[in-house]
Structure 1
């Protein structure tokens, strides 16, 4: 039985649970501190729920199969209308860590900032097409 997609409210709540950690990561990265992701953060299940929920919202906002967004080890989705791939590595891939993804998904950092800082691994000319759907959620501050 397929899993029910989370609601925007459920995703917002899961992201809020990781809020302090995300703020610490954003500050450390902007200061070029190596402590960003190494700082003790929320329980793995909290991060997993936030990542999977925000990926699900992105997938709903940009339906399609031409770009794959990967946030190992928590999840990956295919989105953006256009040619789809059926086997092997897709031609258009965005890959990043959980902290960076959640900062992008919440609007804490911009696509340009993350790309310029080297926080994203991009391949294919359509990888940047997901930027139009970011942020996918804006947690209450």
Structure 2
């Protein structure tokens, strides 16, 4: 994995991404909130309510007792599948409590982000081990998961309301989400036979096999940032995107299907 993440940098990227997405939601006309989102069974209002839960999860963390070992970010992401049903229930409860009303959902988003901010301010931004709702993780790694959540859900919301301009997520937020998930891929599929490139943000080499030492690698995958986030999060499949021509893959080993989604 990449070097340990500075919690201050991760928190700044999450905070700025959250603020940008909150601003976009505030401008989104109420009639869009009742429509379906790209997430099965969720409306746009439900997806907006999930932004409150992303912040609420920060408030639920605490400094771990001395001697508690942290899991890696990659290990933390593996817990998402088992937690999905519970997260859905918590999200829908927020939306239901707010009556699926735009102003009340945004009030919940603001209240829970303010509580998250207070939690971080009180604890400080040292890279301590945290207890979370799932497994212990270092504060820098945990806050990176919030960055990923904001980047992925901003894209979910953009695709859910294609008739309006998409949210403009800060470059640092998008870059950090993309780079972090590329590092997870390299951690789970170590090797140097394939180069995965997500311009303009980052590239990694992965997958066992013959490695290249100079010139253009024989096995390459080129993706846009949005497509990489969708593949990593399981929003789309490798096979479908390859068939559609949105994935540019060259070489016999340039196949990521066995390693996706990442969470």
- Per the TM superposition, whether the score is higher than 0.5 is yes
Find out whether 1:126 has 2:253 as its counterpart.
Answer: yes
Tell whether the 8 Å contact from 1:26 to 1:103 is kept in structure 2 after alignment: no
Tell whether the 8 Å contact from 2:152 to 2:229 is kept in structure 1 after alignment: no
- Give the number of equivalent residue pairs: 129
Bigger shift: 12-21 or 61-70?
A: 12-21
- Quote the offset at 1:27 in angstroms: 5.1
**Secondary structure, in 3 states, of the residue corresponding to 2:212?**
coil
Instruction: Identify the residue that residue 177 of structure 2 maps to in structure 1.
Output: 50
- Quote the offset at 1:4 in angstroms: 2.4
Distance in 2, matches of 1:113 and 1:25, equals 20
Tell whether the 8 Å contact from 1:25 to 1:99 is kept in structure 2 after alignment: no
Find out whether 1:7 has 2:69 as its counterpart.
Answer: no
Distance in 2, matches of 1:25 and 1:132, equals 28
- Structure 2: gaps of 5 or more residues: 6-71, 77-140
TM-score normalised by L of structure 1: 0.80
Distance in 2, matches of 1:71 and 1:25, equals 20
Instruction: Identify the residue that residue 74 of structure 1 maps to in structure 2.
Output: 201
Tell whether the 8 Å contact from 1:111 to 1:131 is kept in structure 2 after alignment: yes
Indicate how the Cα distance of structure 1 residues 40 and 88 shifts in structure 2: closer, same or farther if over 3 A, else same: same
Indicate how the Cα distance of structure 1 residues 4 and 84 shifts in structure 2: closer, same or farther if over 3 A, else same: same
TM-score normalised by L of structure 2: 0.45
Tell whether the 8 Å contact from 2:193 to 2:211 is kept in structure 1 after alignment: yes
**Secondary structure, in 3 states, of the residue corresponding to 1:18?**
helix
Tell whether the 8 Å contact from 1:66 to 1:85 is kept in structure 2 after alignment: yes
Indicate how the Cα distance of structure 1 residues 25 and 68 shifts in structure 2: closer, same or farther if over 3 A, else same: farther
Larger radius of gyration: 2
Find out whether 1:18 has 2:151 as its counterpart.
Answer: yes
- Structure 1: gaps of 5 or more residues: none
- Quote the offset at 1:26 in angstroms: 4.9
Indicate how the Cα distance of structure 1 residues 25 and 132 shifts in structure 2: closer, same or farther if over 3 A, else same: farther
